Structure 1
Amino acid sequence: MLKRGLVTVIGAASILGIGAGGASADTISTPSQPVIQVQELVALPASSEFNKVEAPNDSSLPSTRATFNISTSLGINTYAKSSSTYYMNRGEYVTINSCTWSPSGQNVQIGFINAKTGTQYWTKNYSGGSISSGTKVSIDGPAGEYYVAVGTPSTNNARITVNSQFKF
């Protein structure tokens, strides 16, 4: 029995690397990461109901990523862009909460400016001094980081004052 116990201790010592050629007490270093005690770990089987929990598909959850304003005075064939960029996929929509300008006889365009390349994508001309709340505009370029902009086309003949609010 003593022989079997000694073999077990020697076997365990060799697995742990203790003994000749292994680590000694003065070469063991303190771990750089916090040590988690075994009592703190919880093992869940792969078939656990815990793993099957899904987030509710609740339409009342907010879906807005960002809301921002652009309010400025613009000359002919100029634009003002958002101060931040937004990641957009091709075809993704931005909703215009409000966009008004004066004089109403001039036109505006909504644009997307690629932050990396500077490539600009512009909508059609809007006229009449306002764009209907809820109007959606989408990007026609590749996915990437974009500024959202309000601009005036070269066909305008006067400076405009524009106030707009956008929502992703």
Structure 2
Amino acid sequence: MPRFERAGLAAALTALVAGGFLAACSTTVTGTAEVNQSELQLYTSEVKSSSAAASSSRAAAADAAATDVCEALRDNNNPAVDAFNAYIDASDSKAPDLEAKKGAAITALRDTAGKIDEQLSPDVPNDVSAPMRTYRNNLKTLADLLERNASVDEINGQIDSFNGDKDAAFDACKPY
């Protein structure tokens, strides 16, 4: 068979097969669609279960993150406060180790702020993260004031804010 005849035969055969598929796919099915209730219940149950698991997972992550930042507060707050109070005592008595105590207080305040900051992940709920950020900022501000030899009045003003915000941070951590 010559080459053009074979090509024509192949084209005719392809058109015939394609036409057969089109005719088979154009048939209308009669009837009324019905929901398979058992499959619907299974699907609904799976969706609810998946949603509950995701919600539970988010809640667990938030609780764990809040616990971590609250532990950082509890573990590091007292050393910072103790170092700051030692500096205040040395300042009041004009102690010879005043500069060393000031350096230790600055370091302890910044370290505590850093440890809290390390634990402030996006998973920490806002009712914990907001007071924790405020307290962290107060730790840094107090360290800055000591570092620049601020006046007693300025430091005392910051201490009032510091103490109130420290209490708010500890209050936010009570559930954790």
Q: Shorter-chain TM-score category?
A: under 0.3
Which structure shows the bigger proportion of residues in strand conformation? 1
Which structure shows the bigger proportion of residues in helix conformation? 2
